[in-house]
Amino acid sequence: GAGVSQSPSNKVTEKGKDVELRCDPISGHTALYWYRQSLGQGLEFLIYFQGNSAPDKSGLPSDRFSAERTGGSVSTLTIQRTQQEDSAVYLCASSSNRAQPQHFGDGTRLSIL
Amino acid sequence: EDKVVQSPLSLVVHEGDTVTLNCSYEVTNFRSLLWYKQEKKAPTFLFMLTSSGIEKKSGRLSSILDKKELFSILNITATQTGDSAVYLCAVGSPFNTDKLIFGTGTRLQVFP
Protein backbone atom coordinates (compact mmCIF):
# COMPACT_ATOMS: atom_id res chain seq x y z
CA GLY A 1 0.00 0.00 0.00
CA ALA A 2 0.90 3.64 -0.20
CA GLY A 3 1.32 4.06 3.53
CA VAL A 4 1.43 2.15 6.79
CA SER A 5 -1.97 0.67 7.56
CA GLN A 6 -3.15 -0.25 11.05
CA SER A 7 -6.30 -1.98 12.21
CA PRO A 8 -8.56 -1.64 13.99
CA SER A 9 -8.49 2.14 14.28
CA ASN A 10 -10.32 1.93 17.60
CA LYS A 11 -10.71 -0.93 20.05
CA VAL A 12 -12.71 -0.91 23.26
CA THR A 13 -12.49 -3.97 25.45
CA GLU A 14 -13.02 -5.11 28.99
CA LYS A 15 -10.22 -5.51 31.46
CA GLY A 16 -8.79 -9.02 31.35
CA LYS A 17 -9.52 -9.66 27.67
CA ASP A 18 -6.85 -10.29 25.05
CA VAL A 19 -6.44 -7.94 22.07
CA GLU A 20 -4.62 -8.14 18.76
CA LEU A 21 -3.46 -5.08 16.85
CA ARG A 22 -2.37 -5.32 13.25
CA CYS A 23 0.18 -3.37 11.23
CA ASP A 24 0.68 -3.57 7.47
CA PRO A 25 3.91 -1.69 6.63
CA ILE A 26 4.82 0.08 3.42
CA SER A 27 5.62 -2.51 0.77
CA GLY A 28 9.29 -3.41 0.74
CA HIS A 29 10.08 -1.88 4.12
CA THR A 30 12.17 -4.34 6.11
CA ALA A 31 12.32 -2.41 9.38
CA LEU A 32 9.17 -2.22 11.51
CA TYR A 33 8.71 -0.55 14.89
CA TRP A 34 5.87 -0.46 17.42
CA TYR A 35 5.41 2.53 19.72
CA ARG A 36 2.85 3.47 22.35
CA GLN A 37 1.51 6.97 23.01
CA SER A 38 -0.29 7.44 26.30
CA LEU A 39 -2.28 10.53 27.21
CA GLY A 40 0.13 13.31 28.07
CA GLN A 41 3.16 11.15 27.34
CA GLY A 42 5.58 11.05 24.47
CA LEU A 43 5.86 8.12 22.11
CA GLU A 44 7.52 5.14 23.77
CA PHE A 45 9.29 2.40 21.86
CA LEU A 46 7.97 -1.13 22.28
CA ILE A 47 9.63 -3.50 19.79
CA TYR A 48 11.69 -3.50 16.58
CA PHE A 49 11.55 -6.04 13.74
CA GLN A 50 14.11 -6.56 11.02
CA GLY A 51 12.45 -8.92 8.59
CA ASN A 52 10.69 -11.50 10.72
CA SER A 53 13.05 -11.37 13.67
CA ALA A 54 12.85 -9.03 16.65
CA PRO A 55 16.37 -8.10 17.75
CA ASP A 56 15.07 -5.46 20.17
CA LYS A 57 12.12 -6.16 22.46
CA SER A 58 13.41 -3.95 25.24
CA GLY A 59 10.38 -1.64 25.29
CA LEU A 60 7.71 -4.28 25.93
CA PRO A 61 6.35 -3.31 29.36
CA SER A 62 5.50 -6.80 30.60
CA ASP A 63 5.24 -10.43 29.51
CA ARG A 64 1.57 -9.79 28.68
CA PHE A 65 2.83 -8.05 25.54
CA SER A 66 4.11 -9.99 22.55
CA ALA A 67 4.48 -9.38 18.83
CA GLU A 68 5.27 -11.28 15.71
CA ARG A 69 5.90 -10.54 12.07
CA THR A 70 5.34 -12.94 9.22
CA GLY A 71 6.50 -12.95 5.62
CA GLY A 72 8.60 -9.89 6.31
CA SER A 73 5.41 -7.86 6.13
CA VAL A 74 2.38 -7.82 8.45
CA SER A 75 2.99 -7.57 12.19
CA THR A 76 0.63 -8.31 15.06
CA LEU A 77 0.97 -6.91 18.57
CA THR A 78 -0.89 -8.97 21.17
CA ILE A 79 -1.76 -7.85 24.66
CA GLN A 80 -3.01 -10.56 27.00
CA ARG A 81 -5.16 -10.01 30.09
CA THR A 82 -5.46 -6.29 29.38
CA GLN A 83 -5.24 -3.79 32.20
CA GLN A 84 -6.52 -0.22 32.35
CA GLU A 85 -2.98 1.13 32.14
CA ASP A 86 -2.72 -0.45 28.69
CA SER A 87 -5.11 2.21 27.36
CA ALA A 88 -3.15 4.22 24.78
CA VAL A 89 -2.66 4.77 21.08
CA TYR A 90 -0.47 2.06 19.57
CA LEU A 91 1.50 3.27 16.57
CA CYS A 92 3.40 1.27 14.01
CA ALA A 93 6.16 2.66 11.82
CA SER A 94 8.22 1.22 8.99
CA SER A 95 11.34 2.22 7.09
CA SER A 96 13.23 0.86 4.11
CA ASN A 97 16.21 0.36 6.38
CA ARG A 98 17.19 1.47 9.86
CA ALA A 99 19.06 4.56 8.67
CA GLN A 100 16.05 5.93 6.78
CA PRO A 101 13.08 7.90 8.17
CA GLN A 102 10.32 5.94 9.83
CA HIS A 103 6.81 6.46 8.47
CA PHE A 104 3.88 6.01 10.81
CA GLY A 105 0.42 4.58 10.53
CA ASP A 106 -2.64 6.24 12.03
CA GLY A 107 -2.50 4.02 15.08
CA THR A 108 -4.97 1.96 17.06
CA ARG A 109 -6.67 3.71 19.95
CA LEU A 110 -7.10 1.08 22.66
CA SER A 111 -9.48 1.71 25.54
CA ILE A 112 -9.74 -0.72 28.44
CA LEU A 113 -12.92 -0.47 30.47
CA GLU B 1 19.99 7.42 29.65
CA ASP B 2 19.07 8.80 26.22
CA LYS B 3 16.69 11.74 26.32
CA VAL B 4 15.12 14.43 24.16
CA VAL B 5 13.78 17.71 25.54
CA GLN B 6 11.58 20.06 23.55
CA SER B 7 10.67 23.64 24.27
CA PRO B 8 8.40 25.42 24.59
CA LEU B 9 5.72 22.92 25.60
CA SER B 10 3.12 25.05 23.87
CA LEU B 11 2.95 28.12 21.73
CA VAL B 12 0.06 30.33 20.65
CA VAL B 13 0.58 32.71 17.74
CA HIS B 14 -1.35 34.62 15.09
CA GLU B 15 -1.28 33.86 11.41
CA GLY B 16 1.75 35.38 9.73
CA ASP B 17 4.01 35.09 12.77
CA THR B 18 7.33 33.23 12.64
CA VAL B 19 7.99 30.55 15.25
CA THR B 20 11.07 28.66 16.40
CA LEU B 21 10.76 25.28 18.11
CA ASN B 22 13.68 23.86 20.06
CA CYS B 23 14.95 20.35 20.60
CA SER B 24 17.94 19.32 22.71
CA TYR B 25 19.16 15.77 23.10
CA GLU B 26 21.51 13.39 24.82
CA VAL B 27 22.04 10.09 23.04
CA THR B 28 24.77 7.51 22.81
CA ASN B 29 26.25 7.23 19.34
CA PHE B 30 23.91 9.65 17.58
CA ARG B 31 22.87 8.90 14.00
CA SER B 32 19.98 11.22 13.16
CA LEU B 33 17.42 13.69 14.45
CA LEU B 34 13.94 13.72 12.98
CA TRP B 35 11.04 16.16 13.11
CA TYR B 36 7.43 15.06 12.79
CA LYS B 37 4.12 16.92 12.68
CA GLN B 38 1.22 15.26 14.49
CA GLU B 39 -2.29 16.51 13.96
CA LYS B 40 -5.03 14.05 14.83
CA LYS B 41 -3.47 10.73 14.00
CA ALA B 42 -0.20 9.65 12.39
CA PRO B 43 2.96 11.66 12.97
CA THR B 44 3.94 12.95 9.53
CA PHE B 45 7.63 13.03 8.65
CA LEU B 46 9.09 16.50 8.08
CA PHE B 47 12.90 16.37 8.20
CA MET B 48 15.78 14.06 8.96
CA LEU B 49 19.04 15.72 9.98
CA THR B 50 22.37 13.96 10.24
CA SER B 51 25.00 16.67 9.71
CA SER B 52 25.63 19.92 11.54
CA GLY B 53 25.03 23.27 9.93
CA ILE B 54 23.17 22.08 6.84
CA GLU B 55 19.73 23.62 6.68
CA LYS B 56 16.89 21.50 5.41
CA LYS B 57 14.00 23.42 3.90
CA SER B 58 10.51 22.60 2.72
CA GLY B 59 8.31 25.54 1.84
CA ARG B 60 7.87 27.67 4.94
CA LEU B 61 9.52 25.11 7.20
CA SER B 62 13.22 24.77 7.81
CA SER B 63 15.43 22.99 10.29
CA ILE B 64 19.07 22.84 11.29
CA LEU B 65 21.18 20.67 13.56
CA ASP B 66 24.10 21.53 15.85
CA LYS B 67 25.89 18.31 16.84
CA LYS B 68 28.40 20.13 19.01
CA GLU B 69 25.76 21.80 21.20
CA LEU B 70 23.34 18.85 20.80
CA PHE B 71 20.28 20.70 19.62
CA SER B 72 18.09 21.39 16.64
CA ILE B 73 15.57 24.06 15.76
CA LEU B 74 12.51 23.97 13.54
CA ASN B 75 11.44 27.27 12.06
CA ILE B 76 8.07 28.02 10.55
CA THR B 77 7.67 31.36 8.76
CA ALA B 78 4.40 33.09 7.85
CA THR B 79 2.42 30.63 9.96
CA GLN B 80 -1.04 29.50 8.84
CA THR B 81 -3.89 27.92 10.80
CA GLY B 82 -3.05 24.64 9.08
CA ASP B 83 0.29 24.63 10.90
CA SER B 84 -1.55 24.02 14.17
CA ALA B 85 -0.31 20.67 15.45
CA VAL B 86 2.05 18.98 17.87
CA TYR B 87 5.61 19.00 16.56
CA LEU B 88 7.69 16.04 17.68
CA CYS B 89 11.45 15.75 17.76
CA ALA B 90 13.12 12.34 17.90
CA VAL B 91 16.65 10.97 17.78
CA GLY B 92 17.91 7.63 16.56
CA SER B 93 21.05 5.73 17.37
CA PRO B 94 22.48 2.66 15.64
CA PHE B 95 23.63 1.65 19.13
CA ASN B 96 19.92 1.23 19.93
CA THR B 97 18.65 -0.35 16.69
CA ASP B 98 17.64 3.17 15.52
CA LYS B 99 14.49 3.07 17.60
CA LEU B 100 13.37 6.67 17.98
CA ILE B 101 13.58 8.45 21.33
CA PHE B 102 10.91 11.13 21.30
CA GLY B 103 10.47 14.39 23.15
CA THR B 104 7.05 15.21 24.53
CA GLY B 105 6.41 17.66 21.71
CA THR B 106 5.56 21.32 21.24
CA ARG B 107 1.87 22.12 20.75
CA LEU B 108 1.52 24.99 18.28
CA GLN B 109 -1.76 26.82 17.90
CA VAL B 110 -2.11 29.38 15.12
CA PHE B 111 -5.10 31.70 15.28
CA PRO B 112 -6.45 33.79 12.39
Kindly report, residue by residue over A18-47, the tens digit of the pLDDT.
Answer: 999 999 999 999 999 999 999 877 899 999
More confident residue, B27 or B94: B27
Report the alpha-carbon distance of residue B11 to residue B80 in Å, rounded.
14
User: Mean pLDDT, to the nearest integer, of B17-28?
Assistant: 96
pLDDT score recorded for residue A39: 82
Domains of chain B as residue ranges with CATH: 3-111 (2.60.40.10)
Q: Which of A30, A34, A38, A54 is nearest to A46 (CA)?
A: A34
- Residues of A engaging B, defined by a Cβ cutoff of 8 Å: 3-4, 31, 33, 35, 41-45, 48, 55-56, 59, 91, 93, 98-107
In this predicted structure, the answer to whether residue A1 has a pLDDT above a threshold of 70 is: no
Nearest to A56 among B31, B88, B97 (CB): B97
Nearest to A99 among B31, B42, B104 (CB): B31
Kindly report, residue by residue over A46-99, the tens digit of the pLDDT.
Answer: 999 999 999 999 999 999 999 999 998 999 999 999 999 999 999 999 999 888
Q: By CA distance, what is A33's nearest residue in B?
A: B99
pLDDT score recorded for residue A40: 75
Give CATH for domain A5-112: 2.60.40.10
User: Mean pLDDT, to the nearest integer, of B16-29?
Assistant: 95
> What are the residue ranges spanned by the domains of chain A?
5-112
